[in-house]
Each structure stands twice: as C-alpha cells, then as structure tokens.
A = this chain, B = another copy of it.
C-alpha cells in the first residue's frame, strides 16, 4: 500500500476518518430537526463520496450543472435536484434525458422565460418537469425578490403544460431571519391560493447547525461540510480538526530568511477568497501566511513564524475554499493512518455545462 509520504507534490489528500465524522455529524444535525439531507456534490464531485452520504441517510443529491448530474446518474443516483436555471435547446434535451433515466429529477427556476423553455421541452420530449421556485431571501444572486413574486411565478409556471410545482428553494444568507420571514409569507400566500408546497429547500454548510431556526424547511443542501476549509472555520461552522482536505506541497525555495515558496499556487489552491487573510493555512506552520500566489508558486511570509521550513520539506495546506480546489484536480487521494487507501478520479471535474 502506498503511504502518504510517497505522494509526489502537489497532491490533494482527503482524510477518510474526518470525512466519515463530518458526514455523520451533519446527517445527525439535520435528522434531529426532521430535515432531509440532500448534499451538494459540487464539493467533491466523486460518486463514491456521495454514496457514503446516501448510506448515512441523505435522501438524494444536489448538482449545479447538467454535466455533473449526468456523471452522477451514470453512477446510479436517481434522486437529483439541479439548482440552476436551465435554458437553451441543447440543455433542455439533456434535461429530458436525465428526467427519463432517474426516479426523481427536479430543477429550479426564477423567471417565466426559463419556465416557458422548460414547458416547451417537456412537451417536445414528452416528460413532466418538476420544479422549485428559487427565492432570493437576501443572498443577492438568483431568485424572485419577494413572496408575492414567488406565488405569481409558481402559478404562471403551473399553468404551462407539463410543469409540476414542487416547492420553494433558496440559498440563504448565513443570518437567517430574512429567509424565515420570506418563506413564512410565501407559504401563507401559496396556502391561501390552495397550492401545496411539498418541498422547502435551504442550503449552506454554515446553516446546518441552525437549521432548526427555519421550521418550514423540509430539506437542506450543504456541500462543504464533507471536507470543510478555512472559510468554514472562520464562519464558526468547523474546527481545524474537521478539515479533511489538504494540499500536500514542497518548499522549493527559501529566497530570504522570512520567505518560503511552495510548489502549489493558484492552479491548486485557487485565488478564492477575498474575505480571508492568506491563501490557506499551513498545518505545520500555523503562524506562516501564504501571502501571494502565482499559478504554480505559493509565496509564504514567515515573519510571524518562529519555526521555519527548509528547502525540500513537505507541508500540508488547508485551502480557503475546498470546492474550487476539487475542480482543479484530476484525482484526489483518500488517506487514513498514513496510508493512501483509495485514489478517486474527480469524475465530475470541469463539467461547466
């Protein structure tokens, strides 16, 4: 069996003990509140890991792109929510095919143009289109802007052929008061109009612990919790011990007393995120700051670190944002007790369409 020490750098390792603990903890937190777990696979893009999530109790998965859903349908997943507006004949044809080959496939929409295209595709391809109305409850991305608009869009879309309204969906801000008020009013309006709302879907790893604050939520979509990262630790949603992903790197240069350079840059760690100081946490040198990235260089400021590495030393970096690191990798290494237990191809990497 290969040991971690034999892995050339850079390489992304996934600690399997931590992953198993993270999966169990989120599942338990959501189950305690009777909320279904529908993990977002964008974080790992690996069917074997989604199977572990389903084995632990997840009802199905969430994908963000048709290409991701196709990879996971190929791997046997048959209950998929696709949380992105689908437009264009090429995509609606692929959607119809996914609906035909799964037990339950649901999409979202936040405007009538998308609803019309989906309805046309449903007729053309002879499939029913199950949809959630996406609500912008404060995050400021996609979504209808108020509860009345949610009702109006749900009703408009339901009047179109082959369209089946399944409920509401949001990606909430971490502070959830606005989301509660939005959903309360929207459910009141939909109830008043006699429209059943089987699903109310929320999301985000930072919101798993507080899912009980939103009593109307029936299912939750979280991605990052399976690996965790600097962002989640900063948000108070994880500790360093909960971080399963590491970018294994070599110190290739020590140009000055206070500078080290790693063989991992933005092509592994990515330039995410602006809110965090530094580009990842070096486990062995927590006082060091990855101050700058080129594509293949990580420039480390050692000023605040008493211990300083030598050229050739191996270090491990917890990335700022694990989901985007996944997308840079053709494969990752599942490790336990110092050994590489499994090599996973990142099957849904790079599925931009």
Contacts and interface: CB of A to CB of B under 8 A. Distances in A.
Contacts of A256: 145
Q: What is the interface of chain A mostly: helix, strand, loop, or mixed?
A: loop
A260 to B, nearest CB: 10
A162 interface: no
Given A252-B84, A266-B324, A8 B142 contact: no
B311 A295 contact: no
Interface string A70-95: 00000000000000110110110000
A87 B252 contact: yes
Question: How many copies of this protein are present in the complex?
Answer: 2
Contacts of A272: 266, 271
B352 A311 contact: no
Contact of A324 (B10, B141, B144, B295): B295
B255 A311 contact: no
Nearest to A66: B8
Interface in A309-327: 310-312, 323-324, 327
A299 B141 contact: yes
Interface residues of A, number: 61
A103 interface: no
A154 to B, nearest CB: 16
A64 interface: yes
A210 interface: no
A231 to B, nearest CB: 13
Given A114-B311, A266-B272, A267-B352, A88 B142 contact: no
A263 interface: yes
Q: Nearest 8 pairs between A and B by C-beta? A: A271-B271, A113-B311, A85-B252, A8-B90, A142-B253, A271-B272, A64-B296, A10-B352
